[in-house]
């Protein structure tokens, strides 16, 4: 099934894209997109613990089930001032 992957900040820089449709397994969990990104660029592995996932604009745990057409956002840590 296909989901839309949206990346921000350092995640976008590491992946080399901001938005892309990706194919995931039919029973995919949100963590599967992190696995895909880690295969594209092994540096994602080091960032994995600090990245947040949002599905359809709601923060979710890595075990959240995905459905066809979901938008999965990868949100890195944010600092403010």
| Cβ-contact 31, 72 below 8 angstroms | no
Half-sphere exposure of 66 (CA within 13 A, CB side): 28
Q: What is the CATH number of the domain that holds 22?
A: 3.10.20.30
81 lies in some domain = no
3-class SS of residue 29: strand
11 lies in some domain = yes
43 lies in some domain = yes
CA distance 32 to 14: 17
CB atoms inside a 10 Å sphere around CB 68:
10
- Predicted confidence (pLDDT) at residue 31 exceeds the cutoff of 60: yes
- Predicted confidence (pLDDT) at residue 80 exceeds the cutoff of 80: no
The kind and range of the H/E element at 15 are helix 9-15
53 lies in some domain = yes
31 lies in some domain = yes
Host domain of residue 29: 2-75
Domain count, the chain: 1
- Predicted confidence (pLDDT) at residue 79 exceeds the cutoff of 80: no
68 lies in some domain = yes
- Predicted confidence (pLDDT) at residue 81 exceeds the cutoff of 70: no
| pLDDT tens digit sequence for 54-74 | 999 999 999 999 999 999 999
> For the whole model, what pTM was predicted?
0.90
């Amino acid at each position: 099934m296909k989901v839309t992957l949206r990346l921000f900040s350092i995640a976008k820089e590491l992946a080399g894209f901001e938005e892309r449709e990706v194919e995931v397994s039919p029973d995919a969990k949100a963590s599967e997109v992190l696995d895909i990104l880690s295969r594209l660029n092994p540096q994602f592995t080091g960032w994995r613990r600090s990245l947040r996932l949002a599905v359809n604009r709601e923060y979710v745990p890595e075990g959240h089930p995905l459905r066809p057409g979901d938008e999965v956002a990868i949100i890195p840590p944010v600092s403010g001032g």
